[in-house]
Structure 1
């Protein structure tokens, strides 16, 4: 399926930014470079997740499994351009499904394990998936039953009816080569539809092509200092650019070794670094800060193999970067999004720890040179939201806007959202406020000021307050209610709700949670703080002013 205009594909492939290849070409290249070394490693605690012993697969075994899974999907009748909705824990099966879909020209749409009927019903209505791939149950929840409740054709990585592993054993891998030869998939075709939350009340689908993912792999590897032969520890499920683009695709293209982890458990995380001799991983600032403050815990594990850690989603501090640097480990400050924003402030280009914690390179700006493809393939600018003028002087906040080969082309089946996401000159509006950091040497950098969008970032996961507000409009005992993010030392932000109660009504946080759970809302979205207000702050257009709501909530906590 081509969503990217042919002239755009041609222009970026002519520049060498896009390769025109299917991502499985990187798998075949990795196999050709040496197929026997261990390539893909399950979470250490996999048996506790889904009852299966953890696996360690070589490149040859990965390639064989991908071919067999692709054959099983063909035997089920799936064909190119059909959509596979996937809700899987972070195990080798999720990686294999991603690659099998790529092999056949299928489109995979992955979602987090926490999604329930509320979110899945919307996403399945948007994508009309040909198949829903999940596990029988996870953390005590029956995911297979949820899929059937929604009327989806369910396939399982697990024992029982619809077990894909049994179908893989019976399928003929020879059917894949013949099918692919007759139905080739090239770089300009869509591979994934990931989901992101913004100010809108529902998730937005972000289609990305094979070309996008391959370029993303090179940009990330260069920006973070990854090298061939690295061992990468991936603590995040394969549902967005942070996991797929930040670790899975570099694993393929370098090539490297990929170690999986799920759900996040600090002890197991450190144990895996030691046991697998991990060289690069990613972790939120709160985790990195907590570890530095627990030297006794750190001393229990040998972390000397670890060379670098990527972090982001919340501001970093010089203290954090310097603390890890003292241990011989460099921290890379990352600003990214599913749509293709990709700013990296790492030891590669920004050796000064203070600069690295506070600033990001102004990639693609004339007169400022940076290493790597990102500087060539991505253009950035700041725009004053009131005047529409481009900002070229320090200290004046403006919206960061992007253009280039790392960017997606538009939201899935949402032309109105796509039109709003790009300005009249085709620049993507990130909704995030930056400023030029200063004069002289600082003119090369942006400094993050704050989010223009109203999304709540809880533990690195985006939550749309508008989505929750829409549901809370029906909350019994409430005249009106609205949600907002409030600062939290551990997770970055938590969800709080301001409620104007109906006459004589009293509502608790438990009441709100029960109401939302009944509507199938994912647990991580549930409000954790509640305050009672006389009214919600609104502007002249009657929209809730979340900055004022946040102040009102914090004043009562």
Structure 2
């Protein structure tokens, strides 16, 4: 399966942004210089979580075990070009699955472990997989049972430890298959899932070359070093982990340490025991480390070279502490499954205020930036309604991007309106040109998230950032609720910290006004929650939040 046109393949190859190596070909190259180096490490409590034993796998074993898994899948009838739906947590078997599928020319479509039968059925109807691979259980979640109930005439395979036992009779069949189908770096390796620009989940086909291009940018931003130890706490099902860990680990011959679900004590234990050099940590955990010096002092972070973070705006105060007092650089990543790949580093944004909320305008004309990210992509800000380019600072518009990491279009979708007439992906993200000089983008929200209060357009993300600093809250976000006069008003949704009382609306508004925001942006309703709805990578699902607020009635 390929989605890129011959013209795009030719242009990207001639420019040097795409090559000829598949994922498994990159692994073969590592066997010459890192065969005995540890490639993948399971977290210590894997057996408790899944029933499968924890493994430490060398690069030679990674090649051997992925051969065995490929042979097992071939025995079960999987063919070149088939689509395989996969629901596995961050365990070594998921890593093996990617390499095995690469060797077979099979398209892997990974699902977050949080999804249940409703989502599985919906994705299966869109993907039309040849089979689904999962586990019997993850913690108390009965994965196989929920998948079986959701699937209609799709074979369901439950992974067991003995799948990786040697199967001599399959070796010849696998060797024959690989001779017939050696693989192409422009073949689709994965179909990952995203809300897209419309809010409806869509499949995002991505080739080996697209993933490698994203990995190249991530590795440059994080200054990955050969043979490092990388700790992956985000699910290996999307951009953050596949582009930030799976491909970079094999490209740099590094050790990939796996973690899931996010368990801060276990995460900190792995950093120390595995002597981790780099990880992309959730903002909430970094905030906690910055706010609790005694917690930082109890742990040994001497091996850590730098931290990455992202998915939500970062706290400048956190960066000041982690970087200024603890001496660990912070890299702010911004990306998407479709192929957005921006980052803000100490070199491109020395100020914590800039690094926390701004990203260099890579790919825009007349910028001072250098390097592959700037040279290989094009970015532009347009008016969402007219499509006209916006060059004026602080005027929000839709970010558009093209480059070697950007996908070709959603799975089996007409893609009407997804790309500009000259081929840039319309991300659906609202940004404003900012900075002094204006060499940066600031994310201000999503096009469909904008709150319309009496004709005044308000970005909820802006208020989220401010509210998260209110004392005594662990989570905070805003959403719209209907109003007959103004069309929409703003509701503040908060989760108080344990032992803290919920704030009243007046105190919350006073706090916001002390930050200098306009009065028309102040919330006119307050709702208290035990937790805010979030997607698998930690972003607030604003549509669901709005629905929950609506179900509570309309009076403040």
TM-score by length of 2: 0.80
**How far off its partner does 1:192 sit?**
0.4
Q: Determine whether 1:115 maps to 2:115.
A: yes
Any stretches of 5+ residues in structure 1 without a counterpart? 459-482, 491-507, 514-522, 536-551
**Alpha-carbon separation, structure 1, partners of 2:10 and 2:552:** 58
CA contact (8 A) 2:197 2:427 kept: no
Alignment CA distance shift 1:346-1:171 (3 Å): farther
**Alpha-carbon separation, structure 2, partners of 1:77 and 1:24:** 21
**How far off its partner does 1:53 sit?**
3.0
**Alpha-carbon separation, structure 2, partners of 1:353 and 1:176:** 52
Tell me the residue number matched to 1:6.
6
CA contact (8 A) 2:197 2:418 kept: no
Q: Determine whether 1:430 maps to 2:432.
A: no
Deviates more, 1:129-138 or 1:526-535: 526-535
**Alpha-carbon separation, structure 1, partners of 2:125 and 2:292:** 47
Give CA-to-partner distance per residue, 1:199-233, whole Å, 9 cap, x none: 64631100001110111111110012211122110
**How far off its partner does 1:84 sit?**
0.6
**Alpha-carbon separation, structure 1, partners of 2:6 and 2:496:** 46
**Alpha-carbon separation, structure 1, partners of 2:67 and 2:122:** 31
Alignment CA distance shift 1:484-1:195 (3 Å): farther
Alignment CA distance shift 1:398-1:533 (3 Å): same
**Alpha-carbon separation, structure 2, partners of 1:401 and 1:200:** 15
CA contact (8 A) 1:71 1:171 kept: no
**Alpha-carbon separation, structure 2, partners of 1:211 and 1:271:** 35
Tell me the residue number matched to 1:23.
23
Write the mapping of 1:15-54 to structure 2, written as runs, cut at 5 A.
Answer: 15-54=15-54
Tell me the residue number matched to 1:249.
247
**How far off its partner does 1:145 sit?**
2.0
Tell me the residue number matched to 2:444.
449
Tell me the residue number matched to 2:514.
none
SS of 1:374 mapped into structure 2: helix
Write the mapping of 1:216-231 to structure 2, written as runs, cut at 5 A.
Answer: 216-231=214-229
**Alpha-carbon separation, structure 1, partners of 2:492 and 2:239:** 23
SS of 2:231 mapped into structure 1: strand
Q: Determine whether 1:158 maps to 2:160.
A: yes
State the number of aligned residues: 483
Give CA-to-partner distance per residue, 1:536-557, whole Å, 9 cap, x none: xxxxxxxxxxxxxxxx7xx84x
Alignment CA distance shift 1:487-1:207 (3 Å): farther
CA contact (8 A) 1:219 1:372 kept: no
Deviates more, 1:79-88 or 1:393-402: 393-402
Tell me the residue number matched to 2:138.
138
TM-score by length of 1: 0.80
**Alpha-carbon separation, structure 1, partners of 2:63 and 2:371:** 30
- Which structure is richer in relative contact order (CA contacts within 8 A, separation 6 or more)? 1
Alignment CA distance shift 1:197-1:486 (3 Å): farther
Q: Determine whether 1:367 maps to 2:366.
A: yes
**How far off its partner does 1:486 sit?**
4.6
Tell me the residue number matched to 1:539.
none
Within the candidate set 209, 212, 215, 1:214 is matched to 212
**Alpha-carbon separation, structure 2, partners of 1:397 and 1:64:** 51
**How far off its partner does 1:112 sit?**
0.9
Tell me the residue number matched to 2:99.
99
**Alpha-carbon separation, structure 1, partners of 2:548 and 2:445:** 24
**How far off its partner does 1:454 sit?**
3.4
SS of 2:359 mapped into structure 1: strand
CA contact (8 A) 2:46 2:91 kept: yes
**How far off its partner does 1:356 sit?**
1.4
